[in-house]
A and B are shown apart, each in its own frame.
Chain A
Amino acid sequence: MTLGERVRADFPILSRTIGGRPLVYLDSAATAQKPRLVLDALRAYYERSNANVHRSIHTLGEEATELFEAARDRVQGFIGARHREEIIFTKGTTEAINLVAHTWAGRALVEGDEILLTEMEHHSNLVPWLLLARERRLRLQYVPVTEDGRLDLEAFDRLLGRRTRLVALTHASNVLGTVNPVADIVKRAQAAGARVLVDGAQAVPHLPVDVAALGVDFYAFSGHKMGAPTGIGVLYGRREVLEPLEPAFGGSEIIKEVWLDRVTWNDLPWRFEPGTPPIGSAVGLGAAVEYIERLGRDTIVAHETALLGEALARLAEVEDLQLYGPRDTAARVGVVSFNLPGVHPHDLAAALDADGVAVRAGHHCAQPLVRRLGVVGTTRASFAVYTTSEDIGALVAALRHANELLGLSRLRSSAR
């Protein structure tokens, strides 16, 4: 029995049907399904320990604080951070990146400074920098994507200049699945005096990530793509980089003392967590980490890589199907984008849904990349620990079905 078959029973939603057919969920890159361990942790938290954190002098408040901070410790261990105060809870990846734009970058970058991005960024790692660049008159540069969907590292070296203060890139592309050589990029960037921010939204659910070994300055990711609830994410920041920074947003929790005319700031990490945090969701994130650690990250990688290889091989046999991204499964997570010529991605996704197969279609919040591919969008299947060979089989069958009804092969047969 493969890992996918073994763990399916851990995910209650996978037993539901869509239009009388079993659900084939291939949209985990958008959001992953939740294991029972997470659902149970949420229920237990709200049924037994719910209270506000940090200043409640009663049993429930102490329990809630302990559970909330234990989740932080678990995340710290999970991503290899050296210190617990380097783990800042945010709403998700987007808020984490914006937090860097509003704190470190907002303070350090001046007119004429450059931020080096890539053509394969999600809008979440583009728009905050476009906004900041407009406000501060910064220059944005982009590492191009090669024909086979990788970063052009020669161009990276050319673009990395004296004025480059920040390199901000995705660890794994949400459209192509490409895993970027982050450790190598960090070395080159830091040697040039630039800081590095990595968008880990698509990497953390799938790959072992060790932020200290990678040497990154900032690393952002979301809980909901790895089995936790929505509304919780993480900004990892190196302690030396975070320590001198002032908060981005005012409120409770971020302060040590408040007078009518001045404040002093709280310690890390709470300085960047204003207001009541999403306590239950953080507890759920801790449980999601526990679930992944119980299965073993290497086991998950082996399972998903095997599935990806199988998917690429079987999809290549679907008539007319155009596949994007690297063919080498070692440099890729379980995300596969494709198109049927003449069929709009949304029509294809709707046709697949009618066969019970849930995929994502459109620009995937990466319009510059999709434009670079020369298409209006793609249809994307993405895998997780619970994905099976049967799911891939259902996708391939549904694609053939859709191709008969909407695709070029139908036009060819009617022309005969």
Chain B
Amino acid sequence: MCYGDHVGRLYSDIILDRFKHPRYFGELPEPDAAHEDVNPLCGDRIRVEVRLDSGAGPEVEAVRYRGDACAIALASADLLAEMVEGRPLGEALQVDRDALLAALQAEIRPSRLRCVTLPLDVLRTALNAVPARS
């Protein structure tokens, strides 16, 4: 799909696609972990909710996010959800900024890097609050 040249230079097709057609936007009934935070630079707000499977693992069974945020932050959250769903908690916590940037396939300017990392920081805070299971 062609989005024209000028926005294409800023926003990769992946960002525009995830922004227009999000896969993981929404909420979970009774999530096992959730966190919400804002980007102090722009006031954008993202909430991430996580359901863990009932095994001893534990594994990230489902992730949903919502919030008032820009295309980069929403695309980042959507990709992040896809990257961590179905993975063990420890592996989910390993996903870092570079992995997200690679998935976004875009050159993100320094002024917008925080848009990429906001969902990541919110997810990590949510997952780190999960109590270790016996």
Interface residue ranges, A against B (CB under 8 Å): 19, 344-347, 350-351, 353-355, 362-363, 367, 370, 376-377, 401-402, 404-406, 411
CB distance from B75 to the nearest CB of A (A): 10
Interface residues of B in 44-76 (CB under 8 A from A): 44-45, 68-72
Once A377-B43, A405-B4 are accepted as A-B contacts, the answer to whether A347 and B9 lie under 8 Å apart by CB is: no
Pairwise interchain contact A354-B68, C-beta atoms closer than 8 A = no
Once A376-B68, A406-B71 are accepted as A-B contacts, the answer to whether A346 and B7 lie under 8 Å apart by CB is: no
When C-beta atoms are compared, the residue in chain A nearest to B71 turns out to be A347
Pairwise interchain contact A367-B10, C-beta atoms closer than 8 A = no
When C-beta atoms are compared, the residue in chain B nearest to A414 turns out to be B20
Pairwise interchain contact A376-B44, C-beta atoms closer than 8 A = yes
When C-beta atoms are compared, the residue in chain B nearest to A351 turns out to be B7
| Interface SS majority for chain B | mixed
Pairwise interchain contact B43-A405, C-beta atoms closer than 8 A = no
B115 on interface, CB distance cutoff 8 Å: yes
Chain B count of residues within 8 A CB distance of the other chain: 20
Residues of B within 8 A of A344 (CB): 44, 68-71
Residues of A within 8 A of B9 (CB): 19, 354
Give Cα A404 to B5, complex, Å.
Answer: 12
Give Cα A370 to B68, complex, Å.
Answer: 13
Once A363-B43, A406-B71 are accepted as A-B contacts, the answer to whether A346 and B112 lie under 8 Å apart by CB is: yes
8 extra A-B contacts, CB within 8 A, seeds A346-B44, A376-B69, A406-B7: A346-B72, A346-B115, A347-B71, A347-B72, A351-B6, A376-B44, A377-B42, A405-B7
Pairwise interchain contact B3-A351, C-beta atoms closer than 8 A = no
Contact of B43 among A350, A367, A402, A404 (CB under 8 A): A367
When C-beta atoms are compared, the residue in chain B nearest to A349 turns out to be B70
Residues of B within 8 A of A353 (CB): 10
When C-beta atoms are compared, the residue in chain B nearest to A21 turns out to be B6
Give Cα A363 to B68, complex, Å.
Answer: 13
When C-beta atoms are compared, the residue in chain A nearest to B5 turns out to be A354
Give Cα A201 to B7, complex, Å.
Answer: 33
Give Cα A355 to B10, complex, Å.
Answer: 11
Contact of A401 among B6, B42, B45, B72 (CB under 8 A): B6
Give Cα A166 to B10, complex, Å.
Answer: 47
Give Cα A406 to B75, complex, Å.
Answer: 14
Pairwise interchain contact A362-B43, C-beta atoms closer than 8 A = yes
